[in-house]
Structures are given as structure tokens and as C-alpha cells.
Amino acid sequence: MRHLLGIAGWRRDELEALLDRAQAHLPGGPDASHVLRGRVVANLFFEDSTRTRSSFEVAARKLGADVLNWSYAGSSVSKGETLLDTARNIEAMGPAVIVIRHRSSGAPGLVARHVKCAVVNAGDGAHEHPSQALLDAFTLRQRWGRLDGRTVLIVGDVLHSRVARSNLLCLKALGARVVLCGPPTLLPPGLEEMGGEVTHQLDAVLPQADAVMCLRLQTERMSEAFLPSQREYSRLFGITPARAERMKPDALVLHPGPINRGVELSPVVADGPRSVILEQVANGVAVRRAILEACAS
């Protein structure tokens, strides 16, 4: 595996092989501190991040790598330096892998065409966020064994969500049924062509779900008013304790973070027994260790 730019184009057996590899990177697994010893992983984050950047950093350090953390704040981007100039300069410092997050779809692909090292997409615009989809699939597989025949309901601002796109591709490839639900203004065209089912009726579909993945309203990516109000959104699409009551008894709740508590997800549900949100974060390190190992070898 040279780069990880998206889930699109991956076969089921390739995804499963990566998830199997991640299994060996769970806490308590064999020491892997020699895997990237003496090598550098460069984090290039042109957008804010809490989980993804820290998770790649912890993963890289567990593999013995040195980590170069670059962020746009305080960088020469403010002086007009281009994406490719920034990437080429970081590459000149010799990293084995560049992990990149950017507000523009396709930015990691562009960088990958101009550098010799491996490139991992840590989220590009509304396009893809493959490491998030892989850690979500890993978490569900850990709970269920297999995803075949399971229904995953993705609820919220699908239009602006790279997490939703990558998850739709990944979960479908692994055999799950994927239903996407949200207000018509926040569901992009083309989801059915990618294998998804689309609905605006949350209460009708909720009892069918084996897992519900909540998405944040990504207001910083909204160019216009897509909703009457957040309160109206919560009334129609928020995962409240009353809605959680109507889910299957063992249905799980996921969220990629950051959570806007009380908007898309009630705090009681986020911190309740259905929630696997912190399992997602913990598994993220193992999955990213597997990704870095695969890309750097």
C-alpha cells in the first residue's frame, strides 16, 4: 500500500486485511516500537483537529517514529506559500509518511502526485476521511464479528461530511446495509449510486438500525442557511433519550467527534450504555498504527 487517499477503489479483502493487521496493534499486542524506528511521520494539518492528529501522533510514536507536527497556524501559509511548496519543503526533511488534512477535496491526492513519500488523507473537504471509516468499521467488527446483514444508520449533515462518504463506501464493502438520514438540504445527490439508502424519516428507520452514527452540523463548511434553526434540527434529527428508547435493545451509538452535545446527540445518550464513542477513539490508534505500518513498508 503506497498511499491511503480514500476508501473508494478498495476491495473487501484489502479492507479486511488492514483491519486484521490493526488487531495486532491493540494494547497488549506485540511490541512494535522497531517498525518505524529512525523514521519520521509528518502531520500536515491545514484544518483544526483534536482526535485525528493526536491519534496519528500516538500511533507513529508507538511504532518508534519521530513526529513532525506542522499546523497552518503560525506557518508561512499566511505569507502566501502554496500547498505544494509547503508539502515539498516538509518532504525535503525526509519523512516516510505525510499525513495531511485540508479543507479542499483532492488536496492529499495532489500532494501524493508530487512527493516521493507515502501520503495519508486525514480528511479532505467533504470528500473522504478513510482512517475514520476504518476505525469505525473496526469498532463495529469488534462488537459484532461481521458486518454482513447489519444496518448502519448515518444521521445528520451528510452533505458536508467526509466521514459519511468514507463510511458509506467502507461499510457497504464490508457487507452492511447503510441508510443515510437527514434534512433534504443536507443530503447530497449520488448516495444511492454509492450503495446507500436515503430517508428523511428518522423515526421510521430508527428501529431497524443495529448502529446509529451521528454527524455534527458542520456549520463552518456551510455557505448558506441549510436549516431553519438548530433547535428545529434537534427536534427532527437529534438522538435524544426518547429516540434511544425506540432503538433495538443492543443497538450502538457512534460519533466521529467533535460532539455538539444537545444538538445531534443528547449527553445522556453520548455517555450512556449504547455509546461506543470512546472505543472508536481507542481503536483509532490501533487502526492508524496499521495504516502507517502499511504505508511505510
* Bind-site residues: 51-52, 79, 101, 129, 132, 162, 216, 257-258
Q: What is the C-alpha separation between 253 and 256, in angstroms, rounded? A: 10
Q: What is the C-alpha separation between 69 and 212, in angstroms, rounded? A: 33
Note whether 289 binds ligand NCD by CB under 6 A.
Answer: no
Using CB under 6 A, which residues numbered 143 to 172 contact ligand NCD? 162-163
Note whether 51 binds ligand NCD by CB under 6 A.
Answer: yes
Note whether 255 binds ligand NCD by CB under 6 A.
Answer: no
Among 6, 95, 123, 183, binds ligand NCD (CB under 6 A): 123
CB of 106 to ligand NCD, least distance (A): 15
Among 256, 266, 283, 296, binds ligand NCD (CB under 6 A): 256
* Bind-site residues for carbamoyl phosphate: 51-52, 101, 129, 132, 257-258
Q: How many residues lie near ligand NCD (CB under 6 A)?
A: 11
CB of 38 to ligand NCD, least distance (A): 29
Instruction: Return phi, psi of residue 147, to 5°.
Output: -95, -10
* Bind-site residues for L-aspartate: 79, 162, 216
- CA-based radius of gyration for the chain: 19
Residues 257, 154, 10: CA angle, nearest 5 degrees: 90
Cell for 72? 497552518
Bridge partners of residue 265, in order along the sequence: 239, 261
Note whether 274 binds ligand NCD by CB under 6 A.
Answer: no
Q: What is the C-alpha separation between 146 and 224, in angstroms, rounded? A: 40
Compare residues 77 and 263 and give the one whose CB is closer to ligand NCD.
263
Note whether 129 binds ligand NCD by CB under 6 A.
Answer: yes
CB 119 within 8 A of CB 91: no
CB of 67 to ligand NCD, least distance (A): 18
Note whether 43 binds ligand NCD by CB under 6 A.
Answer: no
Compare residues 3 and 288 and give the one whose CB is closer to ligand NCD.
288
**Dihedral, CA of residue 106, residue 108, residue 113 and residue 118, to nearest 10:** -150
Q: Which of 249, 255, 247, 261 is nearest to 275 (CA)?
A: 255
Q: What is the C-alpha separation between 123 and 161, in angstroms, rounded? A: 10
Question: Which residues sit at the interface with ligand NCD, rule CB under 6 A?
Answer: 51-52, 123, 129, 132, 162-163, 216, 218, 256-257
